[in-house]
Structure 1
Amino acid sequence: MTLTIALEPTPIETDAHGVLRVGKTRVTLDTVVIAFLEGCTCKQIGEQYPSLELSDIYLAIGYYLRHQDEVNTYLAERQRQADVIQQEAEQQFNPIGIRDRLLARRSQTQ
């Protein structure tokens, strides 16, 4: 019996917003890589995100391990973008005192 060796395409796709997603799911590469870096096994990641195929998780982690510099640069940029969005949201909707404002609004309606 001869084993046929075939190249497996990496199951990472870029969506319309430039976000890398694993397989045909909405799960981001960020999510998979961060879970892996936090010590989760591929099986545990699959249990947390049942829409992912186990083989896709292994291939995505393999891609990360082969391209750590590029992926880490991508992750840093995504974190920078998230920080900017959070700052903009906090400027527009001040989170300080929100609990008090919500409780006051609740007591007015009761």
Structure 2
Amino acid sequence: MSLAILSEPAPLAVNPDGVVRVGGTRVTLDTIVAAFKQGATAEEIVHRYPSLRLGDVYASIAYYLNHQQEVDAYLKQRQQQAQEIRQMNQVRFDPQGLARSVTGSQG
């Protein structure tokens, strides 16, 4: 009996906002890669995020290792977008003004 080697697609899907999610869960590729870069094993990642399947985590890590340049570019873009959103929110919702209104209403 011989083993049939089948190619499976990476368990990654891009949502309408352009965010890559893993295995049909809400967990992002960003999360998996960050944990992996911090030294977490696939088993530890599944323990932290129980909605993930171990095979999907291994496949996501393999995808990252095989496409590191593209994934790193995606992660850099996501970080830039997050920074832009933070800056827009700081302009729109001045944290100093919020603190003053909270302390001013305690009188």
Report the TM-score when normalising by structure 1.
0.89
Give the unaligned 5+ runs of structure 2: none
**Distance (whole Å) between structure 2 residues aligned to residue 83 and residue 14 of structure 1:** 21
Task: Give the Cα–Cα distance (whole angstroms) in 2 for the partners of residues 98 and 49 of structure 1.
Answer: 34
- Provide the C-alpha distance between the structure 1 equivalents of 2:101 and 2:45, rounded to a whole number of angstroms: 39
5 Å matches for 1:1-110? 1-96=1-96, 98-99=98-99, 101-105=101-105, 107-108=106-107
Please tell me the residue identity of whatever aligns with 1:84: E
CA–CA distance in 2 between the matches of 1:32 and 1:103? 40
**C-alpha displacement of 1:70:** 0.2
Matched residues in 2 for 1:39 and 1:97: separation?
A: 41
Aligned length: 107
Deviates more, 1:37-46 or 1:88-97: 88-97
Q: Percent identity?
A: 47
Quote the RMSD (CA, aligned, Å): 1.5
Deviations 1:66-99 (A, max 9, x none): 0000000000000000000000001111123644
Q: Give the superposition deviation at 1:3.
A: 1.8
Q: 1:103 and 1:47 mapped to 2: Cα distance?
A: 41
Q: Deviations over 1:14-33 (max 9, x none)?
A: 00111111011111100110
SS in 2 for 1:75: helix
User: What is the CA–CA distance in structure 1 between the aligned matches of 2:40 and 2:97, rounded to whole Å?
Assistant: 37
